[in-house]
Amino acid sequence: MKPLGGMKVVNLALNLPGPAAAQRLSRMGAEVVKVEAPSGDPMLIYHAGWYRDMADGHTLVTLDLKTEPGRTELARLLGSADLLVSASRPAAMQRLGLDWSSLHGRFPRLCQVAIVGYPAPRENEAGHDLTYQASLGLLTPPHMPRTLLADMAGAEMTVSSALALLLSRERGGDAGYAEVALSEAAAALAEPLRYGCTSPGALLGGGIPEYNIYKTSDGWVAVAALEPHFKKRLEEALAISTAADYQAVFAGRDAAYWQEWGAANDVPIETIRS
């Protein structure tokens, strides 16, 4: 039996973090009901394939929560639910009567994880993955980010918060509420930079040759011989020791050769793919 077998999740969240979290909860065995407004989920327009994958196996219900029939049907769903996942601003949830104090009084066994942009007192302020990364120094203009760090980290924080709430309730505690701020999720992933580990020239920021990237005859490879035994094995096998030595040696072969060499010699080397 999967750990969340028998649990029911109602997901009001659209776009990415909430549905990604709901997908993870579903894979743990939870029954997920995805509630969408008549206008649908914008994710279907942005990335239809990803939208469908995240909603796979979920029950889709279309409700207009601005109407009395829509709110009545949502109340019916919440009456048998264990967890509500939301991603609207707290002020909007309050206008709909879906704030935690209102919900907890009506559904005492219902837990809730609310995804917001910023922690209080900025919980009603607008933001997106791009702006969270920008504020933390995670962007390198003019390049756009290669992944959505805040959204994906926020999804995982939503899952862990949900599990903590459900575990506490199952151990005899009250149903609880947690907020997941995407800006804080991004900040957690930015800690290596905040502590200086990955700053340019730092230990993990290009400051040592054994943990760096190198141009090959046809591309680039990442070399991560950070532990002493990896470094010793690499440098003895290739007769290298300085940054210049590393650059010269890796430039002499193609990326596929070096990846195969790394696998054969138990040294972490990986082709950098575009």
Question: Could you give the percent of the chain with pLDDT greater than 70?
Answer: 100
* Cα-based torsion angle of the residue sequence 34, 45, 185, 273 in order, rounded to the nearest 10 degrees: 130
The angle, 0 to 180 degrees and rounded to 10, between the axes of the packed helices 182-189 and 149-170 is 110
Entry pTM: 0.90
Checking if the pLDDT of 233 tops 90, the result is yes
Domain boundaries, the chain: 8-192, 211-271
Residue 224 has a pLDDT of 98
Question: Could you give the percent of the chain with pLDDT greater than 90?
Answer: 99
Checking if the pLDDT of 107 tops 80, the result is yes
Collect all residues with Cβ–Cβ distance below 8 Å to 206 and sequence separation of at least 6: 200, 212, 213
Beta strands 211-215; 177-181: pairing state: unpaired
Checking if the pLDDT of 227 tops 90, the result is yes
For residue 79, what pLDDT band results from cuts at 50, 70 and 90? very high
Q: Any idea which residue has 């907020």 for tokens? A: 179
Collect all residues with Cβ–Cβ distance below 8 Å to 229 and sequence separation of at least 6: none
For residue 1, what pLDDT band results from cuts at 50, 70 and 90? confident
Q: Residue 77 is which amino acid?
A: L
Q: What is the mean pLDDT of residues 94-112?
A: 95
Q: What is the mean pLDDT of residues 45-69?
A: 96
Q: What is the mean pLDDT of residues 66-84?
A: 97
Checking if the pLDDT of 38 tops 90, the result is yes
Residue 274 has a pLDDT of 84
Domain 8-192 = CATH 3.40.50.2020: no
172-206 tens-digit pLDDT: 999 999 999 999 999 999 999 999 999 999 999 99
Checking if the pLDDT of 31 tops 80, the result is yes
109-120 tens-digit pLDDT: 999 999 999 999
